[in-house]
Amino acid sequence: MAPGSPVPDAVAVELRRVAERWQQLPLGHALSLAPAVRGLAQDLADAVAAAEHRAVVPLPDLGPATAYDQLVVTSYDACAAGLAPDLPVRLRQLRATLARPPG
C-alpha cells in the first residue's frame, strides 16, 4: 500500500488477489457470491463499530459492482483500528470461495 497506509503488505496483496478473481467472475456467479464479499466487509465494519463504541450499521447492498469496494474500505478501517491481524487469512478464504465453480 501507499507509504503511511495502515494496511499491511500481506493484506494489500490479498486484496489485490481477491480483486483479480472478483473481476474475472461472470455476472451470474458474482451475483451469487456478492453476499460472501459483503459478509466479510460487514464483519469488519461491525468490529470497527464495536471498538469505537458506535452502533452497528448494516452496509447497504449496492450490488456486486460495489461489493469489492466495500471490502476495501472496511479492510482499511479495520487495519487502521488494529483489528485485523487475521485479515490475510480471511481474504485467502474468501478468494478460495470465489474460485469455486458455481453450483
Number of domains composing the chain: 1
In a domain, 63, yes or no: yes
pLDDT classification of 12: cutoffs 50, 70, 90: very high
Kindly state whether residue 2 falls inside one of the protein's structural domains: no
Residues 31-84: pLDDT tens digits? 999 999 999 999 999 999 999 999 999 999 998 999 999 999 999 999 999 998
Asked, for residue 93, whether it belongs to a domain, the answer is yes
Instruction: Return phi, psi of residue 91, to 5°.
Output: -70, -40
Confirm whether pTM is higher than 0.85: yes
In a domain, 4, yes or no: no
Distances (CA, A) of 44 to 20, 87, 88, 97, 101: 21, 9, 13, 18, 26
Parent domain of 25: 9-99
- 54 domain-assigned: yes
